[in-house]
Chain A
């Protein structure tokens, strides 16, 4: 089946630094990818839609200057958390639309200290 890979699986960074998370579709092309954030014991919250070759579309309340999204190719989208703060610590999950359904990455656990 189609696979979506995220990297890294977990990352610890210092407050004020930036962190980049990669999302790759391994065996299919994805013009659209999605980024979610999930806090402990909560649901996945859609942050933004990443569109290949154009600007990302952000959900209401999500700061586009803080969460930079780049979808430079049909198999790669990146999410950069800029000037990270402890409240940005969360589980970030990407998704890519395959031929028949959406596939999810394994998630990235971000801890900001």
Chain B
């Protein structure tokens, strides 16, 4: 099956600090990206998305940046809270003739220190 990688890097931040989670994607033809949050034992939850015609999109406490030149995405979380502790995945949406596939990146485990 498709998978970008098998590593799970970790990031520890102090409560109240800003977090930056990075992701490299592989397919230069991908035109839509999503960040997901996955808490232990649960399915992924949608956080924010961005299309390839944008380089930045902001949500509530979160910002996604897209650099198509180097195929890089980042998720910035402002004023990180303990409830933000989870694994975060970037995902590429690969368009097909009948449906789109969601292909997940390797993920980053975020641990918030109270």
Contact between B2 and A106 (Cβ–Cβ < 8 Å)?
A: no
A59 at the interface (CB under 8 A from B): yes
A59-B2, A61-B1 given; A49·B99 CB < 8 A: yes
Contact between A43 and B106 (Cβ–Cβ < 8 Å)?
A: yes
Name the A residues within 8 Å of B104 (CB-CB): 36, 43-46
Shortest B43–chain A CB gap in Å is 4
Contact between A44 and B101 (Cβ–Cβ < 8 Å)?
A: no
Within the assembled complex, what's the spacing in Å between the Cα atoms of A7 and B44? Answer: 16
B69 at the interface (CB under 8 A from A): no
Contact between B98 and A32 (Cβ–Cβ < 8 Å)?
A: yes
For chain B residues 74-108, which have a beta carbon within 8 Å of chain A? 89, 98-107
Contact between A46 and B1 (Cβ–Cβ < 8 Å)?
A: yes
Name the B residues within 8 Å of A45 (CB-CB): 1-3, 104
Within the assembled complex, what's the spacing in Å between the Cα atoms of A45 and B44? Answer: 13
With A42-B3, A42-B6 already in contact, 7 other A-B pairs whose C-beta atoms are closer than 8 Å: A42-B106, A43-B8, A44-B44, A45-B104, A91-B41, A101-B34, A107-B42
Q: Could you tell me which B residues sit within 8 Å of A by CB distance? A: 1-6, 8, 34, 36, 41-46, 49, 89, 98-107, 109
Some 9 contacts from A to B, beta carbons below 8 A apart, are: A42-B6, A42-B107, A46-B2, A46-B101, A47-B1, A61-B1, A101-B34, A104-B44, A107-B42
